[in-house]
Structure formats: C-alpha cells, structure tokens
Amino acid sequence: MAAQGFDGVERRGLMFVLSSPSGAGKTTLSRMLLEREPGLKMSVSATTRPMRPGEVEGRDYFFVDKQKFETMVQQGDLLEWATVFDNLYGTPRAPVEAALSVGQDVLFDIDWQGTQQLHQKASADVVRVFILPPSAADLEKRLHTRAQDSEDVIRGRMNRATHELSHWAEYDYIVVNQNVDDAFAEVQSILKAERLKRERRTGLTEFVRNLQRQLEK
C-alpha cells in the first residue's frame, strides 16, 4: 500500500539522485533535504572500505568484505555499484524497493556510474540531479576550505572532476551551486514537482472516480 501524499492521493516513492564533483556541495544539499523534507530518507550503501571512527553499521554504511560484496553483485542484490578510490560501494536492492512501494522517497548521493545503473534498472522511479560548481576556482577553494585532504588528494579530485563533468548531460536537472540556499531551493522544487507527476500518484484513478461519483449524485 503506497503512502498518501499531502493531498490524500496515494503515490509511489521515487529515487532522488544528487551527483556532483567532490566539493561542489551535494553532501551539504543532501543534509539540508533530509532535515527539511518529510518522507525522504537516505539510501544506505554497502561498502568494502573500513569503518571510520564514529560510524555506525546500518546507519552510515553496511560494512562488508570484498567476497560478500561480490556475492551480492552476482546474486543481483545491488541496484548499482561502483569502485571509488579503490573501494567498492553499492546500493542494496531490497530496502529501497520496500521504501518505494509504501511511498517513501529515497535520496542517493552517488556518482555518474551508479546513476547510470539505477536509470537502466528503474528509470521510471529515478530523478537525476547534477550539482555544478560556479567555477573551477570555486571548486578548488571549497576543497581547500574543507581541510580534509592533502594537496595530492585535492589535485586528484580536481582531475577526477573533469571526467565527472563530462557526464552532466545524462542528468534530468542541472543546478549551479553559486549560493547554497538558492541551490537548495531549486533542488527542493525539483523534488516537490517530481512527487506530483501523474504516473507516480498511484491513487489518482480512484481519487478521480470518487470525484466523478460525487458529481453524479
């Protein structure tokens, strides 16, 4: 049974994908969406990378070894997966499909590789948003401001950004993150509009029939 929307019409959930080069702001925008948008939850990925201090199994990631991950791939248990900086990341299929079926929206913070796979497997449920920095200089400044990485790592991320940007045209929406509040307003408006798409509102047929019955009385 799908959840009811704000107008009482049942709808199926959607997969809302945010992608961007590292440092362009998708993590900040994702956090803002989760804080301010009811009915939206973060997809929890499986990964082969080690757990970091403060992380919690099942909340931040499902931590698995490489053999387990490869078994999940072979059995079709992952909606998408990719290798990122020598570690494997993937999205378990079952919890996402369960959420969508009850009208829960799922937020994805994944790269273009994962987005392509998601779209190939479930295009009707996927909304793809690519976040662009306003300039290369701004992107480099943000990476330095985070103070999380060495100069070599920052250079590597800048080089990788060039390749990531080449995939911008594969996305449904493009948001330039000049100002985070403006970018958030744009991303939020995309989510709200996609929630109203006729094909996702599974209860519309019955809703309209009820209106017709009322009018015929």
Q: Which CATH number covers residue 136? A: 3.40.50.300
Is 72 within the bounds of a domain? Answer: no
Low-confidence ranges of the chain (pLDDT < 50): none
* CA-only gyration radius of the chain, Å: 19
Is 160 within the bounds of a domain? Answer: yes
- Look at residue 84 in the predicted model and tell me its pLDDT: 80
Can you give the pTM of this predicted structure? 0.86
Q: Which domain holds residue 22?
A: 15-42+105-212
Is 178 within the bounds of a domain? Answer: yes
- Look at residue 118 in the predicted model and tell me its pLDDT: 95
- Look at residue 35 in the predicted model and tell me its pLDDT: 96
- Look at residue 36 in the predicted model and tell me its pLDDT: 96
Match 């499902």 to its residue by tokens: 62
Structure tokens at 125: 């449920």
Distance CA 188, CA 175 (A): 11
Domain count, the chain: 1
- Look at residue 3 in the predicted model and tell me its pLDDT: 67
Name residue 159's amino acid.
Answer: N
Is 97 within the bounds of a domain? Answer: no
Is 86 within the bounds of a domain? Answer: no
CA quadruple 62, 63, 66, 70: dihedral, nearest 10: -10
- Look at residue 136 in the predicted model and tell me its pLDDT: 78
Percent composition of the chain: helix, strand, coil (DSSP 3-state, to 5): 50, 20, 30
Is 76 within the bounds of a domain? Answer: no
Rounded to 5°, the CA angle 2-32-183 comes to: 105
Structure tokens at 173: 């929406």
- Look at residue 163 in the predicted model and tell me its pLDDT: 84
Strand ranges (DSSP E) for the chain? Answer: 15-19, 40-42, 45-47, 61-63, 78-84, 87-92, 105-109, 126-132, 173-176
Name residue 108's amino acid.
Answer: F
Is 179 within the bounds of a domain? Answer: yes
Is 4 within the bounds of a domain? Answer: no
Name residue 162's amino acid.
Answer: T
- Look at residue 159 in the predicted model and tell me its pLDDT: 75
